[in-house]
Structure 1
Amino acid sequence: MKALVALTLAATALTLCAPASAQFAKPEDAIKYRQSALFVMGQHFGRIGAMANGRAPFDAKVAQDNADIVAEMAKLPWAGFGAGTDKGAQTKALPDIWTEQAKFKDHATKLEAESVKLAAAAKTGNLDNLKTAFGATAASCKACHDSFRAK
């Protein structure tokens, strides 16, 4: 529970810093920012996945808390994909992100929308609703990874 509170506070801090994050001093700062946002989002998404896939007992409150964090975190990483951030630190981001920006933005928008639906499904307290929304959100993650992330 303490870890959840700490991660929630970290997510809140990142959210409040988002407008300032649009300008990074160095490309590696942007890379670290986006990787950190995606890592935190992935951790919370994984907790929901464990419940949706039966690897952890379903807890409606925990699912809702994690889904809310995923929905907020899904807004953040995109500022870290600006011009010149394709180099500067180790990254799995493919160059296509910068050459196919419209397609990349479509994937980002889809993830944001699906994560909002995930949070709404979690609020119902119904595991079947959560499973359905989790599957759609996971598919949006996979689609972007398939197109824009190195293996």
Structure 2
Amino acid sequence: MKITHIAVLAVASLSASVAFAQAKPEDQIKYRQSAMTINARSNGALNAMAKGDVPFNKEVAQRYATVIAELSDLPLLAGAYGPGTDRGALTKADPKVWSEPEKFKAAFDRFTVAAKALPAAAGDLATLKTALAELGKTCKGCHDNYRMNDYRM
């Protein structure tokens, strides 16, 4: 049942990617911000378990980890960093995303690889902590280089 659900989600995501690639830039910006917000909140829940702020729950951890893994590459696949998404709406994305596209993609790919490793690691608290540390490094790398502290238009 879970595999079928994930397969349906993956197919729907890919189909949505094609449709989103044709979306207006302001809609693409909202899409990438929404995906990042969901990832951040899911990451926060996992980190709360890793820190011992809430009890570790294998099933819940795996659900959050799966959400992060499934959403990790969708902003790039959907064109949410495409032409025109560097302006026109409030965004914290640094202009270097577009002036250094190869470097940005490499950094984003490192995040995706770390995110895709989370579900397998979420079955055990010790491995989850290690995987979250790796994910955190990739998040920090992108935020330090490709995210500004203030919104811009």
TM over 0.5: yes
**1:113-128 paired onto structure 2 within 5 Å:** 113-122=113-122, 125-128=123-126
Q: Return 5+ residue gaps in structure 1 as ranges.
A: 1-7
Tell me which amino acid in the other structure corresponds to 2:107: H
Tell me which amino acid in the other structure corresponds to 1:32: K
Quick check: 1:101 aligned with 2:101?
yes
Higher strand share: 2
**What is the Cα deviation at residue 20 of structure 1?**
1.4
How high is the TM-score relative to the length of structure 2?
0.85
Determine what percentage of the aligned residue pairs are the same residue: 44
Q: Return 5+ residue gaps in structure 2 as ranges.
A: none
Distance 2:35 2:92 in 1: 15
**What is the Cα deviation at residue 42 of structure 1?**
1.3
Distance 1:114 1:32 in 2: 24
Per-residue deviation, residues 68-110 of structure 1 (Å, max 9, x unmatched): 1100010111220001110010000010000000010001111
Q: Which residue of 2 aligns with 1:140?
A: 138
2:60 corresponds to which of 59, 62, 68:
62
Distance 1:114 1:108 in 2: 10
1:43 corresponds to which of 24, 41, 44:
41
Tell me which amino acid in the other structure corresponds to 2:20: S
**What is the Cα deviation at residue 53 of structure 1?**
1.5
Tell me which amino acid in the other structure corresponds to 2:19: A
Q: Which residue of 2 aligns with 1:5?
A: none
After TM superposition, what 4+ stretches of structure 1 lie above 2 angstroms from structure 2?
A: 12-16
Tell me which amino acid in the other structure corresponds to 1:18: S
**What is the Cα deviation at residue 19 of structure 1?**
2.5
How high is the TM-score relative to the length of structure 1?
0.86
Q: Which residue of 2 aligns with 1:32?
A: 30
